Structure 1
């Protein structure tokens, strides 16, 4: 008879025994894991991470650097019919949609956390392709098939791809190109991250001075 293979329970027990720290390190490890877990939860809370799963345009101004883009979109014709995701995220299937959002979100979070965002925000190549696809998807009834082929074809002059906004340059963000374009844009205020009880406590302490 062959040697019996261990069942799932014994496998999990071996993994647990391997990962379990020595007795003298168990308490410090628990404290360290608690601190790390708390920091992760706090980061998700202050970044309003759950909001990025939605299509709410206000999510895009969780970082203040997108205020000009939000305000110009809101005042445009697109502001009445399309959200940010309708234009800037692939819509052909749900897997590609959330994979794109995850990649873009991690890049944005890294840039905004390290404060390395440029004064002039430029769309990346992947974003250009997504916007181009969505332009055609929404306006396909108004575009002649020959024009669709011409948009995606290489130019005779520079052999570069043509995009819809090469002609429609001010749709929908106008001439906004930098963070200084609309410094006082009237945008929705973000929800305070400080707990209400702490805000009241600070106000009471300040009033005593």
Structure 2
């Protein structure tokens, strides 16, 4: 019995109780923050993960109305694709930076890419559009696609791709939260249903 008493003392010292409560509180707080921040969603390629931060809603909505929506998600452009380890490392590092800025409410009015993010996006532009960038016949077809086309960023000319002309939080003050992109059901308002039914009955 004395052996068990050594392992399970009746009275714990004060610092052990404080340490246990502190660690449990930190773990609980961390789990709550992870749940509220939808941390697991950032492991996916779903563009909706980006609008967990409300300030990204204008950026998301402009992408939704662009031709890129059919071919590229946020990760296709903004995350490196050289290897999976670098992909998730960059994603985590960039995500923590964004989360810190947004939590401190220090986001700028107009959001611009940092230098390393610009490099990633430029590489992804070339990765998808390598024919337009490297084929010789494009040189004569488009005057600006001369030998210097790899010496500048793609968006130095293609400024509105894929996020449109308007940039900044105040330009879309009452921007609504986006709908999921994977919905196939068409939402038809009641007044339009009525018009459709009337036109069908009149055409008979």
What value does the CA root-mean-square deviation take over the aligned residues? 1.9
Q: CA deviation at 1:42?
A: 0.6
Q: CA deviation at 1:32?
A: 1.2
Give, in whole Å, the separation in 2 of the partners of 1:60 and 1:149. Answer: 36
Residues 139-150 of structure 1 aligned to structure 2 (within 5 Å): 139-145=129-135, 150=148
Match of 2:87 in 1: 97
Give, in whole Å, the separation in 2 of the partners of 1:88 and 1:119. Answer: 20
Structure 1 length as normaliser, TM-score? 0.72
Q: CA deviation at 1:96?
A: 1.2
Q: Aligned to 1:136, which of 106, 117, 126?
A: 126
Match of 2:115 in 1: 125
Q: CA distance change for structure 1 residues 189 and 23 in 2, over 3 Å: closer, same or farther?
A: farther
Match of 2:198 in 1: none
Q: Aligned to 2:35, which of 23, 26, 45?
A: 45
SS in structure 2 at match of 1:123: coil
Residues 47-126 of structure 1 aligned to structure 2 (within 5 Å): 47-126=37-116
Q: Aligned to 1:23, which of 13, 29, 49?
A: 13
Kindly indicate whether the alpha-carbon contact (under 8 Å) linking 1:69 and 1:176 is maintained by their aligned counterparts in 2.
no
Which runs of structure 1 show a deviation greater than 4 angstroms over 4 or more consecutive aligned residues?
145-149
Q: CA distance change for structure 1 residues 88 and 148 in 2, over 3 Å: closer, same or farther?
A: farther
